Structure 1
Amino acid sequence: MYVFLMIGTILADYFLAILIDKNKHDEGKCKFIFILTIIFNVSILGFFKYFGFFIDNINSIFHVNIPFEGLALPIGISFYTFQVLSYIVDVYLGKVEVQHNIINFATYVTMFPQLVAGPIVQYQTIETQLNTRKESVIKFGEGVERFIQGLGKKVLLANNIGMLWTTVSAMEMSSISVLTAWLGIIAYTFQIYFDFSGYSDMAIGLGKMFGFDFMENFNYPYISKSITEFWRRWHISLGTWFREYIYIPLGGNRVSMPKQIRNIFVVWCLTGFWHGASWNFVIWGLYYGVLLFLEKFALKSVLEKLPDSIKHIYTMLLVIIGWLFFASEDLGFAVEYLKVMFFISGNAVIDNAGIFYLYTNIVMMIILFVFSTPVIKQILENIAREYRDKLLNPSLVIYGLVLFLVTAYLVNETYNPFLYFRF
């Protein structure tokens, strides 16, 4: 059924975009078709992703029992809807030429490398590539290398450290120590980065194999020294989308301070809600809205005077707290977990379980810390540059070893979900 939904969406948006373009001489009619197209796409996303959420809240608030059977989320709907919306807006504003080749348009919407978990590809960034991209052996090889990098991040790093968070989050809250709680959420902090950035690397690599150049989606966010910098480095395609299609049209930072504050909170409320139909995602989005507001209007001068090490600790502490709201099934769990982390619950500070988890995961966490920085990338680039014209390139041995280890791991592990598939 969902395949026909996607086909229907593609056909509708294809013809509606052409109608928008043909009626540009009639501003009123063009605007009407444009608004209709936006409502059409947002309504489909809203029905499948948020209708159950609204029904649950109506039932809870008004003490009624409106029946609703939950629907499976169509694969990639959050990502391809945003892609289509960027195309429609850009056609309406005259930033891109309308696409008359339906195959090219369908290719853009359904591009499988990044369909299910991003990056969100704006039409204007690949408009030319749809017609004139060039495949080559060199580019294919670069794509394979990038794909293996992402596969290694996901399978060897994210999956392994993720088991610690799975174990800790399933424990009775009254039985975990402060040490265990911190180890668990730090594990999730590493897991979601290597899981999501790993998928983005794989998507970018697959794109290169087919001649496409997608934008980078991550730029070592865990080396950031402020929350503002963190969001310039994390999920770059999503941040770019909200900036260009929500924040700037609302006036961005070119308006009065009250309106700037409004713009920040609108964007971050929507950012949280985009990630999932749950109040914990809304709180997560507003949490970052508050932090970015404080950095912009109150903390900027203070942060500039602090040593880099303190700024980094400040940033990562707030990011880790944010990931707790993101990872929690409900707000109650997040609040209780925070109480344990910050010595409010009265739980033991250190126990045997915490020491065991620290002892068995410390080496992996050190590896994860190193891979969260540009150090490994710089080493691989130096090796590739030094041995570029030589027969035996050590980087090929490294990638071959990673591929072998991944294959060996996957033989025994059949369940390897990407965290961002559910969005």
Structure 2
Amino acid sequence: MSFASPLFLWYFMPAILLAVLIAPRSWRNGVIAVASLVFYASGAGGTTLLLLACIVVNYLVAPALQPDEWDLERRRKRWLLIGVITFNLSILFVWKYAGFATEQAAVLASWFGAELPVVELALPIGISFYTFHHISYVVDIYRGERPALRNPVSFVTYIAMFPQLVAGPIIRYREIADQLPQQRSHRLDDIAAGLPRFALGLAKKVIVADSLAPVVNACFNTPAEDMTFAIAWLGAIGYTLQLYFDFSGYSDMAIGLGRMLGFRLPENFARPYSSVTVTEFWRRWHMSLSRWFRDYVYIPLGGNRHGAAKTYRNLWIIFLLTGFWHGAAWTFVLWGVFHGALLVFERATGRDRAPASQGGRIARRVLTTVLVTIGWVVFRSPDMAAAWTVLSNMLLPDLDGLSIEVGDALNNQRLVILLAAVSVFFLPGRSVTGPYLESARSRPAAVLRVALLTVGLWYAAILVATGTFSPFLYYQF
């Protein structure tokens, strides 16, 4: 079930919001937990049992990880923590990476005339996200930052909460632990604040991202012999915009839904295409993933506390894992290595700090956008050969235009939306629309909220009703 589907918009969301609003406070987490499992099962089918198994294991183990007053069993608890993290990562590896690993092994074996079977497993929806939630939960308890949840309903609510279950934001346990008690308040004000945020996300997804999808697909599906400079750049820019509006749209919808249910979920985007360095880009793009890797991998590795060489090593590790986390393919690995190399270069040369002059900032912002766009080409391509086809044509200007297929996909309506979406490259990074919608009490904010609810929401709903929507891009991760 997608947020941008008639079933969710017309039936599921209103029913759950009404149930949470009228239910006694002590029942609200139960309503959310049951609704979340139903939501997940509607798309995941039998792999819902895998989610439930992970929930049971982590819930049962977590209380034993809590530090006691004298901390007499720290060594045993450390091994228990390692064991439960290994369990979580093993589930992720088997279901997400076993196919890739056995495929590479089969290729290697073929060089020696041998044959090995290739494992094929259906990827459970959201497994990368709920695995990271489980790891955050047990690590935060082991560190003594928050106590283990004794109520299983509250734990299921945290792990399976349907707004964030499938594609984030990734919520560290300590960020939400204080919001999980059964007596959490819930008011109509929460719905009034969350609904415009949800409407913003739906408009981003359905009106912008889904309109760009046919153009991007046509560009990347162009055969190598027909690829041109114009098609390559149109596809690259189109995907750069499509991914942003699709994923930030999902995040806005998730945060808005969470607010309507009485939760304050962390922000995930802050105008990333206004960044003047790649380092800054990663402080603004998929922020919840960056924070997770910082807290649970980068800092435990030593962060930047042990000299330049180890800092660069840690950055490489983080972005290699970031690439691999997104998918089991060499394109994702290369994309992670590419960004790791850029961050190491910026840190080594001091270019991770923004220039003081306005002209320097503009030039660096253009360069950062171009580098990020090049990275998205690798990220989007099905394999290395396809990525090279697009990248090589981006570097070789020619006089050829668009193919018939790409020209048909880029109709007048989509061209207007594409040009409007390009404005995101020029917006300042200071004011972020999502938080502004929720918190600002000014007249412009009120006008924007009314416009989203009376125009954006209804136009997006009409498009959903006509079937002109597609799954969120991050569902595949």
Q: Could you tell me the TM-score, scaled by structure 1's length?
A: 0.92
CA distance in 2, matches of 1:6, 1:175: 45
CA distance in 1, matches of 2:459, 2:108: 52
Within a 5 Å distance, the mapping from 1:3-402 to structure 2 comes to 3-21=48-66, 24-63=71-110, 64-131=114-181, 132-300=183-351, 304=355, 307-343=360-396, 348-350=399-401, 360=412, 361-371=414-424, 373=427, 377=433, 385-386=442-443, 395-402=449-456
Indicate conservation of the 8 Å contact 1:383/1:394, yes or no: no
In structure 2, relative to structure 1, the CA distance for the partners of 1:265 and 1:116 (3 Å cut) is same
Root-mean-square deviation (CA, aligned residues, Å) is 2.5
Aligned residue for 1:142, secondary structure, equals helix
Aligned residue for 1:33, secondary structure, equals helix
In structure 2, relative to structure 1, the CA distance for the partners of 1:380 and 1:371 (3 Å cut) is farther
Q: Could you tell me the TM-score, scaled by structure 2's length?
A: 0.82
TM superposition shift of 1:156:
0.2
Question: Alpha-carbon deviations, 1:88-109, whole Å to 9, x = none?
Answer: 1111111111111111111111
Indicate conservation of the 8 Å contact 1:154/1:195, yes or no: yes
The amino acid across from 1:377 in the alignment is T
Question: Alpha-carbon deviations, 1:132-178, whole Å to 9, x = none?
Answer: 53211111111111111100000000000121101111111221321
Indicate conservation of the 8 Å contact 1:343/1:349, yes or no: no
The amino acid across from 1:229 in the alignment is E
CA distance in 1, matches of 2:408, 2:361: 32
In structure 2, relative to structure 1, the CA distance for the partners of 1:404 and 1:303 (3 Å cut) is closer
- Listed as ranges, the gaps of 5+ residues in structure 1 are none
Question: Alpha-carbon deviations, 1:180-217, whole Å to 9, x = none?
Answer: 21011100000000000000000001100110000000
Percentage identity across paired residues of the two chains: 38
TM superposition shift of 1:396:
2.1
Count matched residues. 418
- Structure of greater relative contact order (alpha carbons < 8 Å, 6+ residues apart): 2
Indicate conservation of the 8 Å contact 1:183/1:357, yes or no: no
CA distance in 2, matches of 1:411, 1:107: 30
The amino acid across from 1:307 in the alignment is G
Question: Alpha-carbon deviations, 1:69-101, whole Å to 9, x = none?
Answer: 411111211001101101111111111111111
Counterpart position of 2:5: none
In structure 2, relative to structure 1, the CA distance for the partners of 1:203 and 1:395 (3 Å cut) is closer
CA distance in 1, matches of 2:239, 2:416: 16
- Listed as ranges, the gaps of 5+ residues in structure 2 are 1-45
The amino acid across from 2:274 in the alignment is I
CA distance in 2, matches of 1:285, 1:279: 10
CA distance in 1, matches of 2:261, 2:437: 24
CA distance in 1, matches of 2:127, 2:407: 43
CA distance in 1, matches of 2:56, 2:194: 31
TM superposition shift of 1:369:
2.5
CA distance in 2, matches of 1:387, 1:419: 32
Aligned residue for 1:259, secondary structure, equals helix
Counterpart position of 2:465: 411
Q: Bigger CA drift: 293-302 or 194-203? A: 293-302
In structure 2, relative to structure 1, the CA distance for the partners of 1:251 and 1:376 (3 Å cut) is closer
CA distance in 2, matches of 1:388, 1:419: 29
CA distance in 2, matches of 1:175, 1:290: 32
